[in-house]
Structure 1
Amino acid sequence: MVKKNIWQKNNRVFYVIGSLEVGGAERHVAQIAVRLKKRGWEPEVFVLTPGGPLTRLLNDAKVPIHGVTLPTWVSRLFKNKRLQARVGLMLTSVALIYTMWFRRPAVVHFFLPAAYVVGGLASLFTRVPARIMSRRSLNNYQAAHPFFAKIERYLHPRMTLVCGNSRAVVDELVREGISEQRLRLIYNGIDLPPYDHSLDLDAIRAEFEVPDDALVFVVVANLIPYKGHADLIKALAKIKDELPEPWSVLCIGRDDGIGADLQQQANSHGIGPNIRFLGSRSDVPTFLRLADIGVLCSHEEGFSNAVLEGMAAGLPMVVTDVGGNAEAVLDGVTGYVVPAHSPEHLAGALLKVALDDGRALMGDKGRERVREKFSMNACIDAYEALYREVGAQLR
């Protein structure tokens, strides 16, 4: 009876996520929270590590944000960093339990493994009517964290529903013991307007010192080993003498510690001047619009927003066959799908599309595919249907 009353009295959706830094999952949560707010829902966000650039987006939309900043007395009292982290985790867990009790959401929705483990366990001490977990990557991370993998499997049957953002992710969840009846597939969605308005591309190329006649590749991925930048450098080194001159690669994404090594690798292959690491950017659509070819050469993915963004900008995409990449890119139609960890195959696909006079048509087909299947409106519709389905189950 309590669950029924809570659901009928509010439509509050409580999201739990690790941070509000600029990442695919973080941007996704911020975007759906803002859109649902406009549609009359009451989204709120609990962040395990408060702060981050996306905080402003939620604040501007008046979406409440909760979280705990580690008090200064903790660092003064506990000098050991590991002990500080444990105290911080305890305080965060207590705050999360209290917030869920106090705010009384109709549904709590966990995104990413850390939020699932911490938030999922915390939610068991509350009277939350419904729990949903969304996984947005393959479960490769579990090999390095077997204890947390056990916690996830403990939590799985305690979720009302579980979501994956690609068929590859959903299939892995089935193998982890979740029944098909409790699994839902919700693809990522892309806001299309940023890719529709006209831009003075010549002026933008001049601003960033990109020659008007340059062939431009663009990669939107944080500098993390599994994103495959090293494979891309090796692939480009193989075809550097066959690519039309001049050519350039724009790498957009936060440096998580390997940027200097990647630059050194590029220099050693004689292509250092061709590759530019631009760091994290808030104007990604602009760089996608001035590019000619999009690339994502990850070793693992769930379902990449970067691929959809490149397609929305009208770029033919060259991607690795991991996660949901092949569900987005139609091989030979909107781009090319190649094996991961294979600079040879990557090089062949990059050269093929670079020398293809009809690559703009591939980009046009990719843009149309995003409009039909991967728009943000379609994504928000799916989340609304998900929450209404949960509500119906609780009545």
Structure 2
Amino acid sequence: MHVVRPRKNTAGRRGPIACSKLSNPYCEKKQMQKRVDWLVTELNTVGGTEIFLTQMAPLIRYAGWDLHIITLINGGPLIADLRHQGVPVIELDLKNKFDFGIIFRLNKLWMQDPPAIIHTHLYHAGILARFVAHWGHVAPVIVHQHGPESTRSNLRVCVDRLLSSWTYRYVSTCEAVAEILKTREKVSPTKIDVIYNGIPFPDSLVDSRPIEWPVPDGKLTLVCVGRLSPEKGQHCLLEALEKLDPAIVSVYTVFIGTGDQLNSLIAESIKLEIQDRVSFVGLQQNVYPWLFHADIFVLASDWEGISLAILEAMAAGLPVIATDVGGNPEVVVDGETGVLVPPRNPQALADAILQLAANPTERQRMGLAGRQRVEKYFSIQETARKFEELYTQILINL
């Protein structure tokens, strides 16, 4: 078993460097328009939401919007990358959950330099922004719901419902998350805009093999990209791999990402006696070389919004095996671009792996269809265009 231990401050699944290399402005830079502030809880975790913001922010500025990012918690590997791309980042130095001074620091900032629109990302940023903006009559607030957050507590749901009247618009990453906003948070459908996440599309499927490629020659390669945490379902995938008879199908699985489940997953692979069939390679700044040299992408999450990992795998021409949860069915067309299976079902996952492993023609067909689907519906340029349309509409209606 090959294991790469994470470096400090690399809690997510990939770093910012590859993303910035792939990000291309979708239009000529225009004269700066009204100021838009993105308020985010933190940029310390390199996860899907944080990577999405890092990719998207330069495009919004190139489109002419005076975008600033405000992070409640200082630091993080993405801040330098954002500033390098010309995106101003303001750190508010939230020390702990009892640091109520954050309310006054944010209010002072917005009183001195008020934005035209406030767009929040992640739960705590959404709560604070609505309170301060309402208190100071600052600007309309957009709350961006990136995922279903199935484990959200009743208290958090109640707080969200109470603050709904202080929310100008909600942005949902998919129809499944929009439905949760309607039913759980009781948000009016007229206040919700569905804007799919998009990714920078790789120009070529040819890339050099990763330097530390751990897969033995002749093995069918599965790759799983994601934070190593319970909701991502890596334990379920390990159980599925144990069910595959090596005499029938010889597969090797590469796990990309870091998280607090790493040691538990290593121990589980040893317990299941499959440690010679898996590798944990840690955070990778550029996942595409790994994807280009894999055969199948697998994600066994308990819940998802729009998974950037799935979009990247499809853009790399891989067939996808994913759980039928959240926004996954809106991305992966079952039987056309991949296979959808029930969550927390190792046997169904194993059956899907066996199905694709035995059919290289089917894998190639699904991979091509997936790449075409991402290029058509999930480009980062299209997402940026819809952000700009939303901001323009809000300013017109004020």
Query: When the two structures are superposed, what TM-score results if normalisation uses the length of structure 1?
Result: 0.88
Which of 231, 235, 240 matches 1:230? 235
Which of 308, 313, 319 matches 1:310? 313
Q: How does 1:235-274 map to 2 (within 5 A)?
A: 235-241=240-246, 244-245=249-250, 247-255=251-259, 257-274=260-277
Q: Separation in 1 of the partners of 2:290 and 2:42?
A: 25
Q: Separation in 2 of the partners of 1:151 and 1:345?
A: 38
Which of 85, 88, 91 matches 2:96? 85
What secondary structure, in the 3-state scheme, does the structure 2 residue paired with 1:55 have? helix
Give the CA deviation at 1:277.
Answer: 1.1
What secondary structure, in the 3-state scheme, does the structure 1 residue paired with 2:390 have? helix
Give the CA deviation at 1:242.
Answer: 5.1
- Contact 2:256–2:282 (8 Å) recurs in 1: yes
Residue by residue over 1:134-172, the C-alpha shift from the partner in whole angstroms, topping out at 9 and shown as x without a partner, is 1011142323xx322222111112111111101110011
Give 2:129's aligned residue. 119
Higher helix residue share: 1
- Contact 2:61–2:67 (8 Å) recurs in 1: yes
State yes or no: 1:11 paired with 2:34: yes
Give the CA deviation at 1:197.
Answer: 5.9
Paired AA for residue 142 in structure 1 = R
Residue by residue over 1:303-360, the C-alpha shift from the partner in whole angstroms, topping out at 9 and shown as x without a partner, is 1111111101101000001110010000011000011011111111111111112101
Which of 57, 63, 67 matches 1:43? 67
- Contact 1:101–1:127 (8 Å) recurs in 2: no
State yes or no: 1:186 paired with 2:201: no
- Contact 1:295–1:319 (8 Å) recurs in 2: yes
User: Which ranges in structure 1 are unaligned for 5 or more consecutive residues?
Assistant: 1-8, 71-83
Once superposed, what is the RMSD of the aligned Cα atoms? 1.7
User: Which ranges in structure 2 are unaligned for 5 or more consecutive residues?
Assistant: 1-31
Give 1:56's aligned residue. 80
State yes or no: 1:200 paired with 2:200: no
Q: Separation in 1 of the partners of 2:278 and 2:386?
A: 39
Task: Indicate how the Cα distance of structure 1 residues 389 and 47 shifts in structure 2: closer, same or farther if over 3 A, else same.
Answer: same
- Contact 1:165–1:303 (8 Å) recurs in 2: yes
State yes or no: 1:158 paired with 2:166: yes
Task: Indicate how the Cα distance of structure 1 residues 56 and 126 shifts in structure 2: closer, same or farther if over 3 A, else same.
Answer: same
Give 2:46's aligned residue. 22
Q: Separation in 2 of the partners of 1:378 and 1:86?
A: 37
Give 1:214's aligned residue. 219
Q: Separation in 1 of the partners of 2:267 and 2:127?
A: 38
Residue by residue over 1:112-136, the C-alpha shift from the partner in whole angstroms, topping out at 9 and shown as x without a partner, is 2121122222222223231101101
Q: Separation in 1 of the partners of 2:199 and 2:89?
A: 23
Structure 1 stretches (4+) deviating beyond 4 angstroms?
none
Paired AA for residue 32 in structure 1 = M
Task: Indicate how the Cα distance of structure 1 residues 43 and 240 shifts in structure 2: closer, same or farther if over 3 A, else same.
Answer: farther
- Contact 1:34–1:61 (8 Å) recurs in 2: yes
Give 2:372's aligned residue. 368
Amino-acid identity (%): 32
Q: Separation in 2 of the partners of 1:35 and 1:308?
A: 19
Which of 94, 103, 111 matches 1:101? 111
What secondary structure, in the 3-state scheme, does the structure 2 residue paired with 1:140 have? coil
Q: Separation in 2 of the partners of 1:129 and 1:122?
A: 10
Give 1:292's aligned residue. 295
Give 1:5's aligned residue. none
Residue by residue over 1:195-252, the C-alpha shift from the partner in whole angstroms, topping out at 9 and shown as x without a partner, is 5263234xx3x6424334321111111110111001000001001425533x321111
Q: Separation in 1 of the partners of 2:214 and 2:236?
A: 26
What secondary structure, in the 3-state scheme, does the structure 2 residue paired with 1:27 have? helix
